[in-house]
Amino acid sequence: MSLSSTTNKVIYNGNGATSAWPFSFPVLEAGHLAVIFTDGAGLETVLSPSLYSVDGIGGATGGSVTYPLAGDPIATPIPTGTKLTLLRTVPYTQTTVLSNQGGYYPEVVERRFDQIYMALQQLEERVSRVSLYPLSDPATEQGNFALIQQLQPMNILSAQGDLLTRDASAHKRLARGAAGQFLGVNGTDLAWAVPSQPVAPQGRLTLVSGEPVMTANQTGQASVFYTPYVGANVPIHDGSAFVPTPFTERSNDLTQGSTGKAGPAPAGPYQVIDLFVWNDSGTLRLTRGPKHRKAGTFTITVATPAVVSWVDHGLHDGATWTPESTTGNLPTGAQVVVGGTYFVTRVDADTFKLSTSLADQVTGTFINTSGTQSGIHTGANYTAERGTGAGTCELERVDGIWVNKHDITNGPAVQRGTYVGTIYCNASSQVDFKKGSIAAGFGEAIIGVWNVYNRVNVTGSVINSGGWSYAGGTRPAAGLATSRVTVVAGLKEVGISGSFGVAVYSAGAGSNVNMGVGFNSSSTFQALVTGSPGAHGYGSPTGTGSGQPYGLSYLCALEQFVSGAGYSTGANGGITYSWSY
């Protein structure tokens, strides 16, 4: 036959319906036709002849392939996204023998010529699928061949994300790195590494889910959140270096301990507690550390009022204190019991008096004791110091990042927890964020959350909407425990400042009045302004104060009547402050 066309291949796209596939080129024998199925991923499979039937073998105009076969209970027409290719492929062997002086059969010779030209067309089809270098540039082809040889080692890449590199002698596989690592150089080789300077934690502690900077007061919250703010990474130490670790918002339930690995124990009243982010075998957690605790042995007088002696107690006016244990008995008939919470009025560095409430402490109402006592007593404060050693929340810096120095029960092992901030739990073991307000008897401010990183400024006012009268010594403004700004700080890094002012007047000229602000004191001015009402009996003294909080601290509005017939104040006097948390 004659070969008027060079075509030896036809490609069809599947449509889920067609099963008859024609071809227009001659095929001498059934074994010279390949039927190739290409799946949606591009994988080609040469089909077994048992899976299809062919008509037109040996004909000059081609034929048809039926695939899948009619009645096949398993196969279905090939779907959209797949292909079926019909390709004539002849052997490169020559099996025809022409004997000397034997018979001459033109169709035998012609068939051999047909197969030769089919083989040439077959080669042409293959060559058409490669790129040829220009006739005048044979070096390009040599370069392509060298490139192919260089790419052959890529078969050593065995997992997704592998990289191909080489050492001094051969190509090698570099397995993908971990989250937070970068591709660096170790000597003359490539290697995964972590940044030598860890990224700072990028979230903030908050009492509102999804709100890193709170915009409204939050009272009595039982959950704390660590949510992304300037980014969504937090460095977590893996034993050798800090790994920048992506995170989504984490939460901590103050009522839990082991559940969710929330902390060593549920949060308690009047406690300062640190929080850590850590990697719990692939689960990032926000976990509380042990409560802050400063403890020591004490003695207590049987007297009116009772005086506690605790060497170098370090407590300020209004701090809380708890008798934790005794080997004998506290004074009989006393108001002091093991496990109770009392409020301190500092006498000196080694002694203090007790009140049953902050209001009583402000007004000077103290606990009396009677009867007898025995044994060794131990007491503690949970707001002033972390403590040191195992079982405490002692911190240390590693590469500039604060971490836990000791293992934390239901939490991170040593140095595996990144310290992110501190909270203060109120009498109900909950956290408050109150910026202060104008209210009868002062709208108290309590900022019970503090962040180690990404702190923001908060300002507010604690104002008494009414006036008051006074003719005594030094006391918190209006004699109220609410005339203050209370804040918590986990590190001694930032200062708080405030000012107190109010209009005063008296029945006549000559009264002397001092106004000011105390830092961690309800009786000692940091600075004061003398405000004599003057000839007409009016004045507006204003005093300022500041400090560098650590643990639980406060600024208190203080007033002092010096001389004269007493005075009264106008409405809306109070303290304004500035703080970062």
Summarised one tens digit per residue, pLDDT across range 460-491 is: 999 999 999 998 889 999 999 999 999 999 99
Average pLDDT over residues 204-226: 97
Q: Could you read off the pLDDT of 356-374 as tens digits, one per residue?
A: 999 999 999 999 999 999 9
Q: What is the pTM of this model?
A: 0.70
Q: Which residue has the tokens 């052997």?
A: 91
pLDDT band for 539, please (50, 70, 90 cuts). Answer: low
First-to-final CA distance of the chain: 93
Find out whether 234 and 201 touch, Cβ atoms under 8 Å.
yes
Measured CA to CA, the distance from residue 556 to residue 543 in angstroms comes to 11
Higher model confidence: residue 281 or residue 144?
281
- Is residue 504 scored above 70 in pLDDT? yes
Measured CA to CA, the distance from residue 278 to residue 563 in angstroms comes to 59
- At residue 92, the pLDDT reads 87
- At residue 100, the pLDDT reads 85
Average pLDDT over residues 56-82: 91
**Helix (H) or strand (E) segment spanning residue 251:** strand 250-253
For 197, what's the count of Cα atoms within 13 Å in the CB-facing half-sphere? Answer: 0
Nearest alpha-carbon partner for 580 in 545, 549, 543, 544: 549
- At residue 139, the pLDDT reads 67
- At residue 297, the pLDDT reads 98
pLDDT band for 536, please (50, 70, 90 cuts). Answer: very low
- At residue 535, the pLDDT reads 42
Same fold, 294-381 and 431-580: no
User: Which residues, in sequence order, are CB contacts of 471 under 8 Å at separation 6+?
Assistant: 561, 565, 566, 567
- At residue 94, the pLDDT reads 84
- Is residue 507 scored above 60 in pLDDT? no
pLDDT band for 529, please (50, 70, 90 cuts). Answer: low
pLDDT band for 1, please (50, 70, 90 cuts). Answer: confident
Of the listed ranges 333-342, 385-394, 530-539, the least confidently predicted one is 530-539
- Is residue 263 scored above 50 in pLDDT? yes
pLDDT band for 395, please (50, 70, 90 cuts). Answer: very high
- At residue 52, the pLDDT reads 95
From the candidate CATH numbers 2.40.160, 2.40.30, 1.10.10, 2.30.30, the one assigned to the domain spanning 294-381: 2.40.30
Question: Of the ranges 176-190, 194-208, 533-547, which is most confident?
Answer: 194-208
- Is residue 555 scored above 80 in pLDDT? yes
- At residue 142, the pLDDT reads 66
| pLDDT > 70 fraction of the chain, expressed in percent and rounded | 92
- Is residue 21 scored above 70 in pLDDT? yes
Q: What is the average pLDDT score of the chain?
A: 90
Average pLDDT over residues 235-254: 94
- At residue 534, the pLDDT reads 46
- At residue 315, the pLDDT reads 97
Average pLDDT over residues 332-344: 89
- At residue 257, the pLDDT reads 94
Q: How many CB atoms lie within 10 A of CB 110?
A: 12
Q: Could you read off the pLDDT of 123-134 as tens digits, one per residue?
A: 888 888 876 666
Q: How many CB atoms lie within 10 A of CB 370?
A: 13
The whole-angstrom distance between residue 119's C-alpha and the CA centroid of its chain comes to 66
Cross-strand partners of 300: 308
Tokens read off for 75: 């196969």
- At residue 70, the pLDDT reads 85
The dotted CATH code for 431-580 is 2.60.120.40
Helix, strand, coil shares, percent, the chain, to 5 = 10, 40, 50
Average pLDDT over residues 390-416: 97
- Is residue 270 scored above 70 in pLDDT? yes
Which sequence spans correspond to the domains of the chain?
9-127, 157-193, 203-292+388-425, 294-381, 431-580
Average pLDDT over residues 174-187: 81
- Is residue 510 scored above 70 in pLDDT? no
Q: How many CB atoms lie within 10 A of CB 468?
A: 18
- At residue 141, the pLDDT reads 62
- At residue 491, the pLDDT reads 97
- Is residue 140 scored above 80 in pLDDT? no
- Is residue 110 scored above 90 in pLDDT? no
Residue type, 300: I
DSSP characters over 412-463? PPTT-SEEEEEEEE-TTS-EEEEEEEEETT-EEEEE-EEESSS--EEEEEEE
